[in-house]
Chain A
Amino acid sequence: MLPLLEIKKICKSFGDLPAVNSLSLVVNAGEIFCLLGPSGCGKTTMLRMLAGFETPESGSIMIDGRDMTAVPPAERPVNIMFQNYALFPHLSVADNIAYGLRRSGMSAPALSDRVDELLHLVRLKRFEGRKPDSLSGGQRQRTALARALARQPKLLLLDEPLAALDRKLREETQVELVSLQRQLGTSFIVVTHDQDEAMSLASRIGIMNEGHLIQTGSPQELYDKPENAFVADFLGEVSFLTGAFIRGEPDVTIALRPEHVSLRSARAKATENEFDLPVHYESATYLGANWMVRVKSASGITIKALLSPDEMDQLAPQSGAQLTVIFLRSKMHVLAPDGLASLAGAK
């Protein structure tokens, strides 16, 4: 089957600053794909090129088998939901939603049916006559979503769709967005800098940094098998250890998630398939369900460990106390040789 979106070696720079550097990507129909990266990594520029607001310097964008690289925004089977929603302040909710339909020369009865359908879809029927000014943040977001979906795009682009919402609302909206996407089957491309948002929304994530697409994969793949330190560090908490962990290889860098690290007393010994490392206790932060404990090895590497409150009570570490870090060999993730270099480059 033909992929819905195929991006081939797209390059774009602003003046001397490269924004997107030879980016290639394939997105299939029905996916929620998240472009995740720190601010200034080029993800928004990539999204704007997909919408047609920016023209790439080289490379091509194929949507549904058609070359869209030079097609103007209005003629692409793509719609965008802006970060600030860009609702028309002088139009009511219903008129905002109908805006795109009016431009497509739809007949009046069909148009009002479609607007009604969309109003019900985003639960805004009661607010159809309101102006954007008199809506809550969530209602504004849903209006923008309905407006972007009105023309039944093959691909919906969402620029930081949840950034303007407060925490509680963000979680609800995340769930809604995913169920809406399942219901409609439209492919979503979401741009975000928030790893939690990406993890909970996306079927696949592409991590971007400095204009490059560094790694793509499902949230689990990226979390469990990051290709380099940047990806490991960007998604969740991680500690990096350098040393002789593998027989025959004197110096490798491994990434270790805090939940895979256990802390024992100084006398504890590792079993066959475990690894131990003497450390001393530095500090701990209470996270509600767990404790994030920081310990330091003799060689000065900081390791983070996630401990349950029970484990923490049992251990009751004093400042500077000698402890042992123990982790399963199978849980250490060996990074590419230039693993840490990529992190240094990014920061």
Chain B
Amino acid sequence: MMRWGRQQLVRLYQQATAPKIGLFWVAIIPLAWLTLFFAVPLLEILGVSLGSSRRGVPPFIPAWGLSDEGLFFAPNSDSYALLLRHSSDYFIPLYNSTRLAFGSMLICLVLAFPISLWAARASGAVRLSLLVLVLLPFWTSSLLRVYAVMGLLNPTGYINQFLLFLGLRETPLDLMRMDISVYFGIVICYLPLMVLPLYAVLVRIDESLYEAATDLGATRSTTFLTITLPMARPGIVAGCLLVFIPAMGEFMIPELLGGPEQLMMGKVLWAEFFRSRDWPVASALAVLLLLVLSIPILWLRHAERRMRET
């Protein structure tokens, strides 16, 4: 019995690792993952957004699905129409989201570039400790990191204690519930997402390219502008998207660190879902936000492809 089982296992293993079948299994796992956790939920949200609201659990009737009478398909665009009628209500949170997400993205880029460049060109031990230092906070809960930022910026926080101690201020500086506190929070939480793709492209630039540029008369700044920066472009694009897109929908950071002036789309979405309990409108808003966000992604990909072709 044992022997038979082992033989079966060996055969299964050989089949799975045979070149073609192996590739199939390698591809099917991420494919199944994406279908299950990306495509299906997305379709679900689309279904809710085209459905209608009701009192009950769940608080909506989806546009398609399975009921007692069998399959049904009855989409309506009421939620989208409602959103478009009241679109001006969403301009300010959309503007806030874009402004704060874009600003944080730029700050992340400016901070991450020297760190990544240093790590990419340093030798073993320095490189490792730099990367660990960047990644270490990433291993703690983002909620904790946001509370840590509060501990820094509060009227009784470290920064104010320090300023009062030095006698530079008589009263504590108001740093919380401002743009600066939201920037602070997003940058601290998202910096690794900028550092890693940048590091990945910068570490692949051969040292001899810098030497060749120097040999051909380029100064340090020219070398940076003509070699480092253009060659890092894919990493810059990836890092910016990785920071900008999730920051657009960020809920926790503006909620904990921002004030009414920092009302962002994430909070509006939350309010539509849980305060108005209008799931179709909330879902329609999420779908529209997704469409708006896909514009810069598609444009960047297009620009990237054009750059590569010429």
Cβ–Cβ < 8 Å partners of A104 in chain B: 217
Cβ–Cβ < 8 Å partners of A73 in chain B: 211, 214-215
Cβ–Cβ < 8 Å partners of A147 in chain B: 212, 216
Known: A82-B211, A86-B212, A88-B209. A100 touches B231 (CB 8 A): no
Who on chain A is nearest to B229 by CB? A90
Cβ–Cβ < 8 Å partners of B45 in chain A: none
Who on chain B is nearest to A79 by CB? B215
Chain A contact residues: helix, strand, loop or mixed: loop
A151 CB–B CB distance under 8 Å: yes
Known: A53-B211, A99-B226, A103-B222. A86 touches B206 (CB 8 A): yes
Cα distance A73–B222 in the bound complex, in angstroms: 15
Interface range on chain B (Cβ under 8 Å from partner): 10 to 19
Cα distance A150–B209 in the bound complex, in angstroms: 17
Known: A88-B227, A99-B213. A74 touches B206 (CB 8 A): no
Chain B contact residues: helix, strand, loop or mixed: helix
Cβ–Cβ < 8 Å partners of B213 in chain A: 88, 99
Nearest CB on A from B116, distance (A): 18
B237 CB–A CB distance under 8 Å: no
A89 B215 Cβ-Cβ under 8 A: no
Cβ–Cβ < 8 Å partners of A49 in chain B: none
Nearest CB on A from B305, distance (A): 14
A235 CB–B CB distance under 8 Å: no
Q: Which of A95-127 contact B (CB under 8 A)?
A: 99-100, 103-104
Cβ–Cβ < 8 Å partners of B227 in chain A: 88
Question: Contacting A86 at CB < 8 Å: which of B211, B218, B231, B233?
Answer: B211
Cα distance A147–B213 in the bound complex, in angstroms: 11
B215 A51 Cβ-Cβ under 8 A: yes
Who on chain A is nearest to B222 by CB? A103
A74 B209 Cβ-Cβ under 8 A: no
Nearest CB on B from A306, distance (A): 41
Question: Given contacts A84-B206, A99-B216, A151-B216, could you give 10 more A-B pairs where the C-beta distance is less than 8 Å?
Answer: A53-B211, A72-B214, A74-B214, A80-B211, A86-B209, A88-B231, A100-B216, A103-B217, A103-B222, A150-B216
